[in-house]
Amino acid sequence: MASAVSDVAWLSAMLSFEAALADAQAELDLIPREAARDIVAACQVERYDIEAIGREAAHSASPVVALIDSLRGMVGSQAASFVHRDATSQDVIDSAMMLVARDALDVLLTDLGVLMARCAALAEQHRDTPMVGRTLLQHARPITFGFKAATWLTGVLDARNHLAAIRKGRLAVQLGGAVGTLEGFDGRGREVLAAIARNLGLAEPELPWHSNRGRVAELGSALAVAAGACAKIALDVALLAQTEVGEVSVAAPGRSSAMSHKRNPARAVEARAAFAGVTGQAAVLLAAMSGEHERSAGAWQSEWPALSEAFRLAAGAVARTRETLTGLQVDVERMRINLGPSQDLGIGASALVDRALEIYRGEVKDDG
């Protein structure tokens, strides 16, 4: 994930947009095909000094100005005037954001799939393992550990499905020109937009979304929900692993610097910490929705680092939760002891496990 949202990944995505823009305009005979070929050939990330572009970015509150200067210098005088023709910095960065998000989502969706498999295995193995159900941290009616794991599974499944839907239909190319009106492009802005969307494999929006930041906020919120589903699992494991409860123990506990006897559920702790960080970044993305007029002064710029950090932390929450469940040791006898004389499993716990597994298996089959 660190690689998927790195500065190099962002720069590569911005260059991909510039190449797709040139290709689209050449396809529509808006710029010479020779110029487009030169531009595309120059859009190779390894040819750019990313640190120099970063330093120059501070002077214009955007990395695009320095990038375009470098690109124009590489293509030579013949093609230079056709670089970035009629586009604006926000077109480049928003489209790059969608490309970066697509690659990052592919990483996250894969890892969520592994976590779901861990939950499903526990649900199936412990379908009929009785344990105490707890409400408001107090003993309540009996459940099964399989039911608890099935509840984890459905939470992760719902979060993954939301992210998959965003991956499929909400990652849209950006093209609006100077103020989002598609001014320029010889009056063929909609055609250019459609061609870029095809070239990049992104959705084609109905309208430019320069000042409508809902799709970015939606992505940030979905990342927080996914991390939250993981944090729920992590907290349950930490509570069940308490010394006085002792119903589960992690396979790879963390150590204490002061107390050698402790077996800390370190991965669960890290998952919860990562979730707390994701919610902070999601709040930044939500706040950016109230930008000024046609382009905000600061709110839009706040999205770039916030989205990358949200992806990093969400991936951390998923990975640490997956590690928490890997080799999780379930003490069936301790669960029975804590449950006491009541072995009645109540109504439908095992049947609900079966239903959750049925839904999960259907989703996996649909995914191929």
Written as tens digits, the pLDDT of the chain (368 aa) is 999 999 999 999 999 999 999 999 999 999 999 999 999 999 999 999 999 999 999 999 999 999 999 999 999 899 999 999 999 999 999 999 999 999 999 999 999 999 999 999 999 999 999 999 999 999 989 999 999 999 999 999 999 999 999 999 999 999 999 999 999 999 999 999 999 999 999 999 999 999 999 999 999 999 999 999 999 999 999 999 999 999 999 887 556 565 666 677 889 999 999 999 999 999 999 999 999 999 999 999 999 999 999 999 999 999 999 999 999 999 999 999 999 876 665 557 889 999 999 999 998 777 65
Task: Tell me the backbone φ, ψ of residue 315, rounded to 5 degrees.
Answer: -65, -40
Please report the pLDDT score of residue 78 as a whole number: 92
d(CA 184, CA 176): 9
| Cβ contact 155:229 at 8 Å | yes
Q: Where are the domains of the chain?
A: 1-87+177-208, 88-174+211-368
Q: Which residues are catalytic?
A: 256, 295
Which pLDDT does position 345 carry in this prediction? 59
| Fold agreement (1-87+177-208, 88-174+211-368) | no
Please give the CATH number for the structural domain made up of 88-174+211-368. Answer: 1.20.200.10
Token readout for 165 is: 């839907």
Superfamily of domain 1-87+177-208: Fumarase/aspartase (N-terminal domain) (1.10.275.10)
Reduce the secondary structure of the chain to three states and give it as a string.
CCCCCCHHHHHHHHHHHHHHHHHHHHHCCCCCHHHHHHHHHHCCHHHCCHHHHHHHHHHHCCCHHHHHHHHHHHHCHHHHCCCCCCCCHHHHHHHHHHHHHHHHHHHHHHHHHHHHHHHHHHHHHCCCCEEEEEECCEEEEEEEHHHHHHHHHHHHHHHHHHHHHHHHHCCECCCCCCCCCCCCHHHCHHHHHHHHHHHHCCECCCCCCCCCCHHHHHHHHHHHHHHHHHHHHHHHHHHHCCCCCCCEECCCCECCCCCCCCCECHHHHHHHHHHHHHHHHHHHHHHHHHCCCCCCCCHHHHHHHHHHHHHHHHHHHHHHHHHHHCCCEECHHHHHHHHCCCCCCCCCHHHHHHHHHHHHHHHHHHCC
The pLDDT, as a whole number, for residue 337 is 94
Residue type, 53: I
Task: Compute the distance between CA of residue 288 and CA of residue 265 in angstroms, rounded to an integer.
Answer: 36
